Structure 1
């Protein structure tokens, strides 16, 4: 069965962090046309392939920007994933089944991602898929749902694909913009009880607009007011335009490549916002904050992963184990936040694979997606008090954040509050 595309439905796509409404309950679905929680292989293009037990090697297919400006960050993510899978394989794999990553370059182009995913499914015979970017998830979800190949922890947060009924074989890793922005706005309300003016810099991609929309939704009914929004197509122009507003708060509704560029542009303009909020995908201090010098000092970001290079976690058991395992597997940049991100995604996959193997459906595509749809887990590299929580009714995923601010003098992030529980936000 072919589902009406999201573009045709006019669903506003989002990224690396977003959430609004999901698709209509009247849409035709593939893979599982019944209610959430009752995923079936009956409507799959090849039901036998969906239920077949995986033996020998479990292949995780990646369509990722291995070239272009995001290549270094995504390369670190994949390196971290491979390192965690190597640990699992060294311990005997998933009941003797080894895990392997098969990666193809899409240059951050959704159409190339679509082509890659079809090739990964049809030619490479992968059992699980992964991709990076909202446009990419939007481009591939119809095909992978029709073929019933689980897309696990996609690096995006499109609200429609958090709908387990209409897209049962797709799960996303990144927290929704609504959830993250609720946490951000809660902090702003506490800091500015009488309200304040806000300048918003927004990336014009699906990802950035998702973030911007999430922030706008979160400030509804508050005394916080966006006085100017500027596109991030030219960070210098955006900084100049937004500086002229005199706003005390600057919010970056951007993607990874915007974080440093906007910081440097704001610094060159001579503007020092009282509060500068970066998106949660901007968490690597070495590459995204340190090069900006004093311009990045005090910038805030919401975090859910432990930073193995931060003295705050020097005695943390999870961090110690991660560093020992990463070193043993020859991981290139173990302190890089993107490497940690990839390691954690693989760790969550290993948890899902292990639980699927012990389930009634066994280690199969169907067993894996059923497990992923009901997975509750606290990865050792998640900040204590933050869990991964999935249910058929609520694809929440990341259940909280802890705010941190960047110290330019110490060249590290410092905690700026306790964990903010968002488990009630979806």
Structure 2
């Protein structure tokens, strides 16, 4: 699948984008993929396959940059957004990214999705010195500028998120006996490593640890094994399809553990509703974005702007799916980065600008959580707030917690 679209973001006025005051004075500088009229951005994600629930992120980016272009582009340049379907398959990701770099000759890669898939291209893009920005995975290894100076993540890292869940279990579940369901790849392992690290001497409270492969049809047998282990707490480390299955199966067999689920599967539309709202009550996750089903944000200016943007640019799409919120927020950050580059659209300057944000408040990110980066800090967002599923939406509780790894 190839889509080359030209496009807008919300939350930032067209005039602000077109007439940005950050345009650099002096000589224009370009690397391959940029010119007086165009900036080429490369992307791939699973529009098909077992992780296709994330395909809406890529569709959002297409609409986003198309709208940007209709509003005049970024500093007068149109975005050529080129996206391919990699099916969440590392070999296909390698093929897609090589095509983007060597044939399409993009200036940068943006929001390539998945931990195992990005792992497969990690060394290649750094050897090629291609900006590999705001990638759609929270693995902790994306924040390693010393060894991989061309790769930067976006969301709070999985390792720290796992630590937060472990601490909450120890503090709130009486005599915890923990069962772990883990996707058997780098995504799952990063969460569980942080979880075990935080448990420390209490790691023996994990009474059962089961895994599944992304190609498995269901996780039904794994949920039965976890219930049979006597676990009274579940750490559910899975992507949307399997997260919904796990919730539903636990309800089917009458298992009601204290249930902790990773943020990447917290979508009301893609996970909680398919699993059954009645089966999802009390599940805890960690949030850093405003949930579109949470009534407290109904009159927030950024939420109103986003809903209007969705109605205009993605009519008919399910606005209860938090993946659209995620896509909008991170695309806003990409635009802000390119605005800061001005007329110096070299790959080195793209990375320099990406690594120089201070307390930037993005639309749809929770209050108190801002983007901060530096040449030694490649974790743009490093804070979360716990949230519990109640009724048909998420209910935030507690304080905003800043990641220990930041």
Please, what TM-score do these two structures have when normalized by structure 1? 0.81
Distance (whole Å) between structure 2 residues aligned to residue 329 and residue 177 of structure 1? 31
1:81–1:344 Cα contact (<8 Å) kept: no
The secondary structure found in structure 2 opposite 1:199 is strand
| Counterpart mapping for 1:324-339 below 5 A | 324-331=308-315, 332-339=317-324
How far does residue 53 in structure 1 lie from its aligned partner after superposition? 5.6
Post-superposition Cα deviations, 1:177-207, rounded to whole Å, max 9, x if no partner, equal 2211222233223314x75221111111221
Which residue of 1 is the match for residue 389 of structure 2? Answer: 406
Out of 320, 334, 345, the position equivalent to 1:349 is 334
| Counterpart mapping for 1:216-235 below 5 A | 216-222=196-202, 225-233=205-213, 235=219
Unmatched 5+ residue regions in structure 1?
1-47
Which residue of 2 is the match for residue 340 of structure 1? Answer: 325
1:260 matches 2:255: no
| Counterpart mapping for 1:22-41 below 5 A | none
Which residue of 2 is the match for residue 70 of structure 1? Answer: 51
How far does residue 364 in structure 1 lie from its aligned partner after superposition? 2.5
Which residue of 1 is the match for residue 305 of structure 2? Answer: 321
The secondary structure found in structure 1 opposite 2:200 is coil
Distance 1:243 1:351, change over 3 A: same
| Counterpart mapping for 1:24-423 below 5 A | 50=31, 54-71=35-52, 73-130=53-110, 131-192=112-173, 196-222=176-202, 225-233=205-213, 235-273=219-257, 275-293=258-276, 294-331=278-315, 332-357=317-342, 362-376=344-358, 377-407=360-390, 410-422=391-403
How far does residue 238 in structure 1 lie from its aligned partner after superposition? 1.4
Post-superposition Cα deviations, 1:354-395, rounded to whole Å, max 9, x if no partner, equal 11227xxx2332211111122332211101111122222222
1:52–1:364 Cα contact (<8 Å) kept: no
How far does residue 49 in structure 1 lie from its aligned partner after superposition? 6.5
The secondary structure found in structure 1 opposite 2:81 is strand
Distance (whole Å) between structure 2 residues aligned to residue 356 and residue 190 of structure 1? 46
How far does residue 224 in structure 1 lie from its aligned partner after superposition? 7.5
CA RMSD of aligned residues (A): 2.2
The secondary structure found in structure 2 opposite 1:270 is coil
2:385–2:398 Cα contact (<8 Å) kept: yes
1:208–1:255 Cα contact (<8 Å) kept: no
2:240–2:270 Cα contact (<8 Å) kept: no
Structure 1 stretches of 4+ moved >6 Å: none
Post-superposition Cα deviations, 1:107-128, rounded to whole Å, max 9, x if no partner, equal 2111111111111111112112
Distance 1:335 1:265, change over 3 A: closer
How far does residue 50 in structure 1 lie from its aligned partner after superposition? 4.1
Distance (whole Å) between structure 1 residues aligned to residue 378 and residue 202 of structure 2? 27
The secondary structure found in structure 2 opposite 1:173 is coil
Please, what TM-score do these two structures have when normalized by structure 2? 0.85
2:108–2:132 Cα contact (<8 Å) kept: yes
Q: How many residues align?
A: 370
Post-superposition Cα deviations, 1:298-354, rounded to whole Å, max 9, x if no partner, equal 111111111223211011111111112222223534442111111112111001111
Unmatched 5+ residue regions in structure 2?
1-28
Distance (whole Å) between structure 2 residues aligned to residue 335 and residue 96 of structure 1? 34
How far does residue 270 in structure 1 lie from its aligned partner after superposition? 1.2
How far does residue 87 in structure 1 lie from its aligned partner after superposition? 4.0
